[in-house]
Amino acid sequence: MARLLVQLKLRLLRNALRSSGQAKAGFIVSLIAAVLVAAGTFAGLAALRGNSASVDLTTVIFTLFAFGWLILPLLVFGLDGTLDPATLALYPLRMRSLAVGLLAASAAGAWPLANLVGLLGVTVGLARGGLGLLIALLAVVLEVLFCITLARFVTASLAGMLRSRRGKDFAALLVIPIFALYELFTQLVPKLAGEGKLSPAKFAGVDVWMRWLPPGLAAHAIQDASTGHPGTAVLRLALLAAIVVALGALWIRSLSRGLVTADSSTQSSAVRGVALPFGRYGLRGTVAARFWIYQRREPSSLVYWGITVVVMIAVSIRIILTHGYLGGLISSAVFGSALMAVLHSNSIGLSGPGFGLEAMALTGRRALRAYFSGQNIALGMVAVPLLTVISFGLAAVAKHPVDGFLGMAVDLAGIGAALGLGGIFTVTLPYPMEKRAGSPVPRPADGFTGDRLGGALGTLLGTVVAAIPVVLGVVFTRSDPATVRMPVLVVCAAGYGLALAWTGGRLAARAAEQRLPELYQIAVRSKL
């Protein structure tokens, strides 16, 4: 059974590789990333040799790996068929052979191997002497077993939920904190390290409580064995092994339950509210109501806005506390609105087959103008307060809160450009989208990556260029009194942004009128 399930896992990986150019590229990137993570982790752990905080840092790294194994399977739940017990429920399999097989399948693949190889860096960094080396090898094996069992336990326990609509929504939203952590790491860590504020010694003592978690037990067992405390080392490893066995037992229990339990897809709660909003505002208000609801209820919309916020903060965080803070404010506003343009440049593809309902009712250019106008109103209702709050927040962090108005001026111009360009591109370069297992947001369907790239580049560059007049206004009026320049800048930028959004909406309506059936055929190919 173990062999069969490992073969199944490898076959699933191979088929994903064969399915499309996009999947192939994704697989190669994932493979390269796994090799880099393995090499980087090994080198990082090995470089801790002789460092006073080596055991603390090793504990942190071991814990991070366990955290990754806890979170990532939730994101790729539908991608790995061996993670979902329901896929095997039809077959007459004994629990023992099934459990062994699933564990073996978990350990197969590039990432588990990268995990193992990377963590073996402790044999150089932390282990001392023959006993230290032996305990290090055992500790790494137990740590990897712990990670795999933990991942299996969590996915088996939550399988019913993860198969349901709510579970998928929840898993999609996890991408926001993960992306934020990634940005924090890539933006802040190099900066702090460069300023000498982050050195290995700073980590001394951080594992006060982490040392009692299973990954901490593994790291400290190596330290104990290397410093002449073999008894404590063996006790720690025995405790870790007991935890792995207990976790395995819990996993087998939830696995047996999962094989005979229905998912929770039919259990749903009712929505609040009695009617669609904006009932008095005709077709424009009707469309705005639908898009407004979608901004709140569709997980990919929430993910898009979350990513926009993270990017706005990330691009400015390095310089917001320096004299060049104004550059940070401006770049945050420009990148925020440009990203918004990119993410909303294919609204018809993102509407999916439901667009058929709209296509049947959009009778003529006037109706299409109302459609794009309603869409812009809904997106603007989210974008304007959100981007403005971020700009004022950053200005407050920079200790120049009034300069938030300058960021706001750039926001307003950028949002207007993003809405206008988004409408034009959704009509002229639409493409079907697909929600795939393992991807928290929809991706372009196979064969449309070029269209996606064209739409992204067009809206990105267009928004940046369109924001330039306001950016120049902000820069060249620096010597004027703030009480004069700020109201003028904000009002002019708002007017400019409105004009861009209005013009874009009208152009989009004109283009859409000629090709509504073709737009529908694109939308209907979306699998959302």
Residues that bind other proteins (CB under 8 A): 165, 265-266, 268-271, 273, 275-276, 279-280, 283, 286-287, 289-290, 293-294, 297-298, 351-364, 367, 516-518, 520-521, 524, 528
CB of 450 to other proteins, least distance (A): 20
CB of 284 to other proteins, least distance (A): 11
3-state DSSP call for residue 204? coil
CB of 457 to other proteins, least distance (A): 29
Checking phi first, is residue 108 left (phi over 0); if not, alpha (psi -120 to 50) or beta? beta
Cα separation values, 405 from 241, 267, 312, 336, 475, Å: 58, 46, 16, 16, 13
Task: Evaluate whether 48 touches 219 at the Cβ level (below 8 Å).
Answer: no
CB of 169 to other proteins, least distance (A): 9
SS (H, E, C) 88-150: HCCCCCCHHHHHHHHHHHHHCCHHHHHHHHHHCCHHHHCCCHHHHHHHHHHHHHHHHHHHHHH
Angle at 7 between CA 6 and CA 8, to 5 degrees: 90
- Which two three-digit tokens encode residue 1? 């059974």
Q: Which is nearer to other proteins, 11 or 527 (CB)?
A: 527
Q: Which is nearer to other proteins, 284 or 506 (CB)?
A: 284
What span, in angstroms and rounded, lies between the C-alpha atoms of 312 and 415? 13
The phi, psi pair for 91, rounded to 5°, reads -95, 145
Q: Which is nearer to other proteins, 220 or 290 (CB)?
A: 290
Task: Evaluate whether 163 touches 263 at the Cβ level (below 8 Å).
Answer: yes
Q: State the residue for tokens 């960021």.
A: 407
CB of 363 to other proteins, least distance (A): 3
CB of 370 to other proteins, least distance (A): 10
What span, in angstroms and rounded, lies between the C-alpha atoms of 21 and 421? 29
Could you give the residue ranges of the DSSP H alpha helices within 214-281?
Answer: 214-226, 230-258
Task: Evaluate whether 240 touches 146 at the Cβ level (below 8 Å).
Answer: yes
CB of 297 to other proteins, least distance (A): 4
Q: State the residue for tokens 């903060």.
A: 313
Q: Which is nearer to other proteins, 235 or 528 (CB)?
A: 528
CB of 378 to other proteins, least distance (A): 13
Q: Which is nearer to other proteins, 289 or 394 (CB)?
A: 289
Q: Which is nearer to other proteins, 69 or 520 (CB)?
A: 520
Torsion of Cα atoms, 447 then 451 then 457 then 458, to 10°: 180
CB of 145 to other proteins, least distance (A): 38
Q: Which is nearer to other proteins, 68 or 277 (CB)?
A: 277
Q: Which is nearer to other proteins, 299 or 380 (CB)?
A: 299
What span, in angstroms and rounded, lies between the C-alpha atoms of 319 and 335? 15
CB of 494 to other proteins, least distance (A): 29
Q: Which is nearer to other proteins, 50 or 92 (CB)?
A: 92
Q: Which is nearer to other proteins, 19 or 295 (CB)?
A: 295
CB of 167 to other proteins, least distance (A): 12
The phi, psi pair for 213, rounded to 5°, reads -80, 160
DSSP class per residue in 67-92: HHHHHHHHHTTTT-GGG-GGGGTTS-
Q: Which is nearer to other proteins, 236 or 436 (CB)?
A: 436
